[in-house]
Structure 1
Amino acid sequence: MFSAKALFQEIIDNDDSYRLFCSIAASGEAQGGWENGRIAALLPPAMAGLAPKVARHGADEDKHGRIFQALLRKRGLTAADVPEETDYTMLLERRGIGLAHDKLRRDAPLSELDIITYLSHSRVTEQRAADQMDMLTKYFGDHPEVGKAIRMISNDEDNHLAYCHEELLRLARAGHGRTIQRILHECANAEIAVYRDVSLAVMDHMGRILKWPAAKSAVLRAGIRAMYGYERAGGWRRMVSLSMPERRDALGGPATSTAEFA
């Protein structure tokens, strides 16, 4: 009844819903940039070779945050406050997924297990990001206002996902396979529930902004819950499998600049 393309078009066409969408996205990307920056600075000595890639990951996330801010400015909008119930990163942390921010704020080096946790968490969340950007690229990759941003971010997310696969496989070969699979399963089970909750919250806010009729909102909520049911039944497996990516050493070079987007 309601296609993803039609829904996103409706969100883009309204300044208030577009403002909320870009604000949520910018906040999440900036948070990811900070996390990766801290992890790069706190890597254990034995894993210091990962520092350029982790830093590149963080630089990409920071860039994405700036891109969403630039999209707002181009329309003459300022960032909106992000409702707590739509804060994907914070809600994952509250469930104990990934590395706690308290730990990242300290100056003590992280452990090898911390880095395995970080990479496993990233493998799951980057799968979600890559899937979302693939969908947006399919429908809006040629859009005159947001198309270039979507294509750039989508390419970066594919790089991030490839990097996670490659590094986790390297660690699995070093004897950490069972630990990696355990953490991947824990992250995936938590992520699909958080994604459901955040999706319901975002749709609720968008429905109020866009004045959707109750029937439309009910159908969308049912669709989100149905997707969660599919993921709980087995769709989560795409988030925990590991395979050598076609893009090797995907984060081995410098990050592209936001100037390319502008």
Structure 2
Amino acid sequence: MLSAKSLFQEILDHDESFRLFCSIAASGEAQGGWENGRIAALLPERCRELAPKAARHGADEDKHGRIFHALMKKRGLRPADVPDDTDYTMLLERRGIGLGHAKLRREDPLTERDVVVYLAHSRVTEQRASEQMELLRKHFGDHPDLGRAVRMISADEENHLAYCHEELLRLARAGHGPTIHRALRECALAEIRVYRDVSLAVMAHMGRILGWPRPKAAALTAAIHAVYAYERLAGWRRMVSLAPPRRRDPLGGPASTAPEFA
């Protein structure tokens, strides 16, 4: 019987599939670290109080990338090339979601609208990241090799999501509510399509590595399309709601380190 746990266990047990999984994850985290670092440097004067939080967000993402590299190194594996069709961040940018890398490479200060776009994009993508890591923590939080890494990254993703809620609510109170609503909806609808496409691509690559029979591959493909259908109908709404986080100032203070991994 197919389940999230059995599927990931199969990927974990095979060196080449584990190598690809960690390489994809590490690449995405590294991109997120760079983006948040640049955003922290380019924030406009009226939003400079966000700079330490954006920098902390970026430092966390960099740390996650190092953790995934360390997990590969522990098994004597080198990073794999990341296929373009599995590059979640790049595919979102191609759809015009978030702040483009060309803008972030320049030295021009961002606008307040750019800050709204950044936070809306982060709120949606951190929802996905938090849910994925919570699933891994549920099934592998006690795993002897992965458990500590999964728990650490999951806790960070929860803080990132809470930070986005807190800052978007603050900007909504400052009069940016309609812009926030439009940006969240646009980003959520694009993200669920990109997530479907990336999921299909990752499963296709894993299937070739692991030699999945055609019925199994077809069942996984159908499941991915079913998730997309649900999200297109109603599930995307969970990505656009805003609520005060239980913990105030979740990204206050310096980023935690991970000496046991990197």
**Partner residue in 2 for 1:244:** 244
Aligned-CA RMSD value: 0.7
Query: What amino acid is the match of 2:97?
Result: I
Structure 1 CA distance, aligned partners of 2:32 and 2:123? 13
The number of aligned residues is: 262
**Partner residue in 2 for 1:155:** 155
Give the structure-2-normalised TM-score: 0.99
Structure 1 CA distance, aligned partners of 2:247 and 2:191? 25
Which consecutive aligned stretches of 4+ in structure 1 deviate over 3 angstroms post-superposition? none
Query: Unmatched 5+ residue regions in structure 1?
Result: none
**Partner residue in 1 for 2:202:** 202
- Correspondence 1:4-153 to 2 at 5 A: 4-153=4-153
**Partner residue in 1 for 2:165:** 165
- Match status 1:176 vs 2:176: yes
Query: Unmatched 5+ residue regions in structure 2?
Result: none
Structure 2 CA distance, aligned partners of 1:224 and 1:253? 38
Q: Is the 8 A contact 1:192 1:231 kept in 2?
A: yes
Query: What amino acid is the match of 2:239?
Result: M
Q: Is the 8 A contact 1:152 1:261 kept in 2?
A: no
CA apart distance, 1:260? 4.7
Cα deviation, 1:188-232, whole Å, max 9, x if unaligned, reads 000000000000000000000000000000000000000000000
Structure 2 CA distance, aligned partners of 1:189 and 1:63? 29
Report percent identity of matched pairs. Answer: 74
SS in 1 for 2:113: helix
- Correspondence 1:206-225 to 2 at 5 A: 206-225=206-225
Structure 1 CA distance, aligned partners of 2:261 and 2:238? 31
Structure 1 CA distance, aligned partners of 2:258 and 2:87? 24
Q: Is the 8 A contact 2:66 2:261 kept in 1?
A: no
Q: Is the 8 A contact 1:23 1:69 kept in 2?
A: yes
Structure 2 CA distance, aligned partners of 1:220 and 1:226? 10
CA apart distance, 1:261? 4.2
Query: What amino acid is the match of 1:46?
Result: R
Give the structure-1-normalised TM-score: 0.99
Query: What amino acid is the match of 2:254?
Result: P
CA apart distance, 1:166? 0.2
Structure 1 CA distance, aligned partners of 2:181 and 2:123? 11
Structure 1 CA distance, aligned partners of 2:176 and 2:184? 12
Cα deviation, 1:125-156, whole Å, max 9, x if unaligned, reads 00000000000000000001111100000000
CA apart distance, 1:248? 1.0
Cα deviation, 1:3-56, whole Å, max 9, x if unaligned, reads 000000000000000000000000000000000000000000111111000000
